[in-house]
């Protein structure tokens, strides 16, 4: 079992910044992917950014150049630095942990943290 604890969400004005943190605990496998998804009301959940334990990253096009994902493998913690925030970034942001074992994918999710960007 893996538990994910998120922090850093809040209310900011357009153009502002937030830094999200997510710490994983429990049965952590050294090879994994951690990242952030977001979901706005009435919209599909989408991947925002993800990073493997080996250092590979992936971003949705709409946040490239504004958001940066990083992680500390020793602390099993992933971060999302969000700059130049826009109202369309408003959503619940969910931390995700994923690993594969015997060709089976295991996904774990945080409780979500609200990010609201006002214009």
pLDDT (tens digit, 9 = 90+) per residue, 84-117?
Answer: 999 999 999 999 999 988 999 999 999 999 999 9
At 78, is the secondary structure helix, strand, or coil? strand
CA 4/CA 27 separation, integer angstroms: 11
End-to-end CA distance of the chain: 40
Q: pLDDT for 4-46, tens place per residue?
A: 999 999 999 999 999 999 999 999 888 999 999 999 999 999 9
Query: How many beta carbons lie within 10 A of that of residue 27, not counting itself?
Result: 11
């Amino acid at each position: 079992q893996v538990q994910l604890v998120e922090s850093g969400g809040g209310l900011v004005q357009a153009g502002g910044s937030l830094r999200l943190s997510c710490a994983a605990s429990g049965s952590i496998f050294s090879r994994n992917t951690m990242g952030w998804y977001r979901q706005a009301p009435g919209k599909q959940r989408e991947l925002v950014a993800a990073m493997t334990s080996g250092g590979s990253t992936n971003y949705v096009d709409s946040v490239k150049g504004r958001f940066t994902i990083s992680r500390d493998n020793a602390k099993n913690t992933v971060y999302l630095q969000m700059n130049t925030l826009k109202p369309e970034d408003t959503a619940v942001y969910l931390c995700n942990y994923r690993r594969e074992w015997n060709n089976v994918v295991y996904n774990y999710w945080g409780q979500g943290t609200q990010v609201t960007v006002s214009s």
